[in-house]
């Protein structure tokens, strides 16, 4: 799936921004712009299933903007890798979202499962829910 997420010029350097690519009514992913690089993750903390991370709209970073900070219990994550380096889930990982910059826009590239899906049939793994909970990687 390729879908335009936003204009690159709308991303402020050193800041984070929540996005709702499937129009689910909440920000299901977020991006952080640092210079020429854009990092994108699902808005789901690996510490607690379904936990959202922003402490208010578009605010996913710690005070000095050097790390991603989960608002629930304060776990800190590397912006570049998504690894939890301090707090309640050290060693766990945020789920990365594949994006690409083209023609001045940030595009969603590859699969992006809805936050909630219908109940899986018997014997099927609910990959989307696992991804939302940080238990699976895309």
Q: Which residues bind ligand FES (CB under 6 A)?
A: 45, 47-48, 51, 70, 72-73, 75, 87-88
> Structure tokens of 126?
């609910």
E-only strand ranges, 79-128: 84-86, 99-102, 105-109
Name the minimum Å distance from CB 103 to ligand FES: 35
Nearer to ligand FES, 8 or 88 (CB): 88
| Total residue count of the chain as it appears in this document | 138
Nearer to ligand FES, 4 or 50 (CB): 50
E-only strand ranges, 46-104: 67-69, 76-78, 84-86, 99-102
Name the minimum Å distance from CB 100 to ligand FES: 28
Contact present, 41 and 93 (Cβ < 8 Å): no
Name the minimum Å distance from CB 121 to ligand FES: 29
Nearer to ligand FES, 8 or 62 (CB): 62
């Amino acid at each position: 799936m390729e879908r335009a997420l936003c204009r690159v010029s709308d991303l402020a350097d050193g800041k984070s921004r929540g996005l709702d690519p499937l129009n689910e009514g909440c920000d299901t992913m977020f991006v952080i712009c640092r210079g020429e690089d854009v990092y994108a993750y699902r808005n789901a903390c690996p510490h607690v299933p379904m936990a959202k991370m922003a402490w208010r709209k578009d605010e996913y970073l710690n005070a000095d903007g050097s790390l991603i900070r989960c608002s629930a219990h304060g776990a800190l994550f590397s912006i570049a890798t998504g690894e939890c380096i301090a707090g309640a889930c050290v060693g766990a990982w945020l789920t990365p979202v594949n994006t690409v910059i083209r023609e001045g826009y940030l595009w969603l590239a590859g699969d992006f499962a809805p936050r909630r899906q219908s109940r899986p049939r018997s014997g099927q793994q609910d990959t989307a829910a696992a991804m939302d909970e940080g238990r699976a990687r895309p």
